[in-house]
Amino acid sequence: MTSANLLALHALRCIGFAALSRVSEATGLSEADTESELIDLAAAGLVQYVPGDFGAWGLTEAGRAADAERISGELDTAGTRPVVAKAYDAFLVLNPELLDLCTAWQMRPVGGVPTWNDHTDSAYDSRVLDRFADLDQRLQDACAELWAAMLRFGRYRLRLTDALTRARAGALDYVTDNMSSYHIVWFQLHEDLLATLGIPRPDPGHR
């Protein structure tokens, strides 16, 4: 099982610069425990707190390198690399669908032209949310093995389900618009799969 220390470090690797509450949400640890780990990590020079109005925690360069090494070591020790690789493969098939759905949630064609979805047509919105639910089910099926093999990945299952449940209950900002939204959690899962497998995001440029 991933140590609390690595959980906190790796959360910052996947969610970016974030306030304590968001790190805590990503790790599933209490805020007090998360803060304690972050302070230890800061003492080791792996993370830093940037104060200010939007005070937040972020990785240092050393922290990024340490995370890559420790996460990769964890995979090898636990022998879970094939499970993660398989889940990443399935994820890549589903990712374009998620992006289609987020776009359909935000924009909808009027006379053939994409226009902001003003969310006044609840029938349209519920059709989109039905497709989100369908996609979510397929992600859950494809990743069931991953959730079970690595507890820290299982956290995404809870966070995605939570976002979708809230959105379907009427909190529409949980689809794309807040930092706990379905899209943001999915985006972090994407980053986590890449980071865990040590795959850089493909560079722009030409063959």
Partner 1 sequence: MTWIHPIHAGLTEPASVLGSKGYGLVVLRRLGLPVPPGFIIGTGACRAFLRDGRLPDGLDAELAAAVSGLETATERRLGGPERPLVVSVRSGGGVSMPGMMSTVLNVGLTAGATAALAAETGDRHFALDSRFRFLSGFAAAVLGVPPDILDAARQVAGSDGESGLADAIRAVEELVHRRSGAPVPDDPVRQVELAVRAVFASWDTPRATTYRTLHDIPHDLGTAVTVQAMVFGNRDDRSGSGVAFSRDPNTGERAPFGEVLFGRQGEDVVSGTSLTRPLPELAGREPQVWAGLPAALDRLERHYRDACHVEFTFEAGELWLLQVRPGGLAGRAAVRVAVDLADEGLISRREALLRVTPPQLRHVRTPRMGTAEPGDVLTRGLGACPGVATGRVATTADRAVRMAAGGPVILVRPHTSPLDMHGLAAAAGVVTARGGPVSHAAVVARAMGKPAVVGAADLTVDVAAARVSAGGRTIAEGTLITIDGTGGQVVLGDHPAVPAAPDRHLHRLLDWADEVSGGGSHRDQEERLAAAHAALAG
Would you say 153 or 187 has its CB closer to partner 1? 187
Closest CA to 8 of 152, 104, 143: 152
Buried b (16+ CB within 10 A) or exposed e, 82-93: ebbeebbebbee
- Using the rule CB under 8 A, is 92 a contact of partner 1? yes
**123 touching partner 1, by CB under 8 A:** no
Interaction mask 140-169, partner 1, x per CB under 8 A: ------------------------------
Q: What angle do CA 89, 91, 97 make, to 5 degrees?
A: 130
The phi, psi pair for 95, rounded to 5°, reads: -55, -45
* Least distance from partner 1 to the Cβ atom of residue 169, Å: 19
User: Residue 160's Cα: distance from chain center in Å?
Assistant: 9
Nearest to 159 by CA among 30, 34, 8, 25: 25
Q: Measured between alpha carbons, how far is 163 from 183 in angstroms, rounded to an integer? A: 9
With CA atoms as reference, report the closest residue to 31 among 2, 52, 1, 11. 11
Compute the least distance from the CB of residue 206 to partner 1, in Å: 6
Residue 96 binds to partner 1 (criterion: CB under 8 A): yes
| From 32-40, 67-75, 139-147, 171-179, span contacting partner 1 (CB under 8 A) | 171-179
Question: Is the Cβ of residue 110 or residue 148 nearer to partner 1 in the bound state?
Answer: 110
Interaction pattern, residues 37-76, with partner 1; x per rule: CB under 8 A: -----------------x-x-x------------------
Beta carbons within 10 angstroms of residue 141's beta carbon: 10
Which residues lie near partner 1 (CB under 8 A)? 14-18, 54, 56, 58, 89, 92-93, 95-97, 99-104, 106-115, 124, 127-128, 130-131, 134-135, 138, 176-177, 179, 181, 183-184, 187-188, 190-191, 199, 201-207
